């Protein structure tokens, strides 16, 4: 018996990285999964692995920057399950041209759209289910960049992830009376495909010292399994060997 038997979880950005790890971890606790991302093939692969061990997973691909697509997925959840217990708001991306000298309005819209607007859209779909149930948990993937400003991540990404942090806290302020909990997770460097969008390539050695997607997936599973009277508002999670700290130590030495 899993701690999430019978619960319905919607995971966005579920085709790789943290979303993939979270989906597999939640399925391991018995949750029924709805998997969303832009590309259907990786989602189908994750769904296949869940089904191969007796789990339930439904693939609902789509561009979450389009509100109509998000609402369509919400309609599927309503028709198929008539409930939603867990939203893992994980879809996100960054760009190579992230410094102010190269930012353009189109690229700003892209970063803000997938990291912040899409998170808002998904929350507006999830919350009515949870209000009706008087129960539910939303778990949002922000970033260390959602709490600390550093040129590495780029202005648009930093602004978007700060927005995700504020969004999550605002949900708790309004929805705590409805039994709804919102957790924002702020990871430091994680060895996921988003690193391929770094202007400076990241070595295999550095990736091995970073957080792994499964570390974050296990954290999301833990939050989702907490009893209804517990709300973890925010989590900062980093590698022990935090490269930002190491650079500072080297300068101090």
| CATH number assigned to the domain comprising residue 143 | 3.40.50.720
* 11 strand-pairing partners: 35, 88
Size of the chain in residues: 253
Q: Specify if 154 maps to a domain.
A: yes
Can you give the pLDDT of all 253 residues of the chain as single tens digits? 799 999 999 999 999 999 999 999 999 999 999 999 999 999 999 999 999 999 999 999 999 999 999 999 999 999 999 999 999 999 999 999 999 999 999 999 999 999 999 999 999 999 999 999 999 999 999 999 999 998 889 999 999 999 999 999 999 999 999 999 999 999 999 988 777 766 777 788 888 888 999 999 999 999 999 999 999 999 999 999 787 777 666 778 6
Domain that holds residue 169: 8-252
Backbone angles phi, psi at 185, to 5 degrees: -105, 125
Q: Specify if 111 maps to a domain.
A: yes
Q: Specify if 227 maps to a domain.
A: yes
Q: Which of 121, 157, 222, 245 is catalytic?
A: 157
Alpha-carbon separation of residue 172 from 9, 41, 84, 135, 232 (angstroms): 19, 35, 17, 12, 10
Distance CA 29, CA 6 (A): 10
Instruction: Work out whether the CA dihedral 69, 63, 146, 90 comes out positive or negative.
Output: positive
Q: Specify if 124 maps to a domain.
A: yes
**pLDDT at 108 (0 to 100):** 97
Q: Specify if 2 maps to a domain.
A: no
Q: Specify if 1 maps to a domain.
A: no
**pLDDT at 31 (0 to 100):** 98
**pLDDT at 213 (0 to 100):** 96
Q: Specify if 239 maps to a domain.
A: yes
Alpha-carbon separation of residue 245 from 159, 188, 242, 249 (angstroms): 22, 11, 5, 6
Tokens of 23: 């989906």
Number of domains into which the chain is organized: 1
Catalytic residue list contains 157: yes
Q: Specify if 3 maps to a domain.
A: no
Specify burial of residue 45 (Cβ count, 10 A radius: 0-12, 13-18, 19+): middle
Q: Nearest-CA neighbor of 180 among 142, 218, 230, 140?
A: 230
pTM, rounded to two decimals: 0.94
């Amino acid at each position: 018996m899993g701690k999430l038997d019978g619960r319905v979880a919607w995971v966005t950005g579920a085709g790789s990285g943290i979303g993939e790890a979270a989906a597999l971890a939640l399925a391991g606790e018995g949750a029924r999964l709805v998997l969303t991302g832009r590309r259907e093939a990786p989602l189908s692969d994750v769904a296949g692995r869940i089904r191969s061990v007796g789990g339930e997973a439904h693939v609902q691909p789509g561009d979450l920057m389009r509100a109509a697509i998000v609402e369509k997925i919400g309609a599927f959840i309503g028709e198929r399950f008539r409930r939603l217990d867990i939203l893992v708001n994980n879809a996100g991306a960054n760009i190579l041209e992230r410094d102010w000298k190269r930012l353009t309005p189109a690229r700003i819209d892209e970063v803000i759209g997938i990291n912040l607007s899409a998170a808002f859209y998904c929350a507006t779909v999830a919350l009515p289910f949870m209000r009706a149930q008087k129960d539910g948990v939303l778990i949002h993937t922000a970033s260390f960049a959602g709490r600390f400003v550093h040129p590495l991540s780029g202005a648009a990404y930093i602004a978007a992830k700060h927005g995700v942090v504020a969004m999550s806290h605002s949900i708790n302020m309004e929805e705590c009376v409805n039994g709804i909990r919102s957790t924002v997770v702020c990871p430091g460097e994680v060895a996921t495909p988003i690193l391929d969008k770094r202007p400076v390539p990241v070595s295999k050695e550095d990736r091995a010292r970073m957080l792994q997607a499964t570390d974050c997936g296990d954290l999301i599973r833990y939050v989702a399994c907490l009893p209804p009277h517990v709300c973890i508002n925010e989590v900062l999670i980093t590698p022990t060997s935090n490269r930002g700290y190491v650079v500072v130590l080297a300068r101090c030495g």
